[in-house]
Amino acid sequence: MRSFTYERAVAAQAAVAAAARDGAKFISGGTNLLDLMKLGIERPTHLVDISRLPLRDIEELPGGGLRIGAQAPNSDVAADIRVRTRYPVLTQALVSGASGQLRNKASTGGNLVQRTRCPYFYDTAAACNKREPGAGCAAIGGYNRTHAVLGAGSSCIATHPSDMAVALTALEAEIELLGPGASVRRVGIADFYRLPGDTPHIETVLRPAEMITSVLLPPPPPGRQLYRKVRDRASYEFALVSVAAVVSAGQGTIDSARVALGGVATVPWRAVEAEAALRGRPATTATYRAAAEAAMRDAVGQGHNDFKIELARRTLCRTLAQAAQPVRSG
């Protein structure tokens, strides 16, 4: 057991100030951090408990959007009637993840910054650049069935684990951050995560002691929203491939589309090439196949995970076909 100190923050700015000390980390639900501490992967010397901060509310925004507090439990967000009716893709993504018990405890902010479930990251005897910069990547050339085929490189091929972040990417959410000196900034979720590059251990654009305070959802986009997750078992499992799609189709033509992928990339992956292949095209199987080909054009398998490329194409085609069905009113 490694010793550490603990304090419970009573205000957001006080929490940020406390997290500025060397070796400090925020803890909320702890569903990921505590596991990593037990394994010696995370070694904080001071924990700042932010779970009791008044950041649990889900509030209306002008124009029809929502502000979701960073401490709102995943289960509360998924069950909120405004989320269920306006952003069903988010509810579907949340209920597909973890278990009911974990969703009751896991926070919105914590979900966004959870770390990869790559087995080599969790195995402290294996080489992992994300855990120990410069150590190498045992997944490259190793058993890599669950690893990334998009956004990877020579330093890391670990996938991002969050279902929620994939849905939020399709919804073009923003993340509100509080930093030292009461500085506040907003970052689009597409800019929040960093590709591994030469620094796979730096996963987000969070600055030192900066804390997520809320997620901002813009007014719901037009069309049908759908989240589909393919995994090895029906529950309590991370995605091999997931698709978040928002498609508006009228008179047999796709007017607009947003597509995000999970389970196949090092970050929640916005499939902009697929979106371009869909807009203004007929809502047909041929169009969906063309979009799927565009989405996976730059995918690179590492051997055991080659199957993910075709699986992603088929999952995307099936999801688009369903999402492109007209939305019935009443």
* Per-residue pLDDT tens digits for 239-255: 999 999 999 999 999 99
Query: Residues 216-224: what's their mean pLDDT?
Result: 97
What is the maximum alpha-carbon separation in the chain? 64
pLDDT score, position 327: 66
pLDDT score, position 14: 97
C-alpha 186/C-alpha 147 separation (Å) is: 30
C-alpha 71/C-alpha 214 separation (Å) is: 8
Does the pTM surpass 0.85? The reply is: yes
Query: Residues 99-105: what's their mean pLDDT?
Result: 96
- The pLDDT tens digits for 35-88 are 999 999 999 999 999 999 999 999 999 999 999 999 999 999 999 999 999 999
Q: Which amino acid is residue 195, in one-letter code?
A: L
Nearest CA to 5 among 30, 19, 17?
19
pLDDT score, position 317: 98
C-alpha 238/C-alpha 230 separation (Å) is: 9
Angle of CA points 238, 273, 116, to nearest 5°: 25
C-alpha 190/C-alpha 167 separation (Å) is: 12
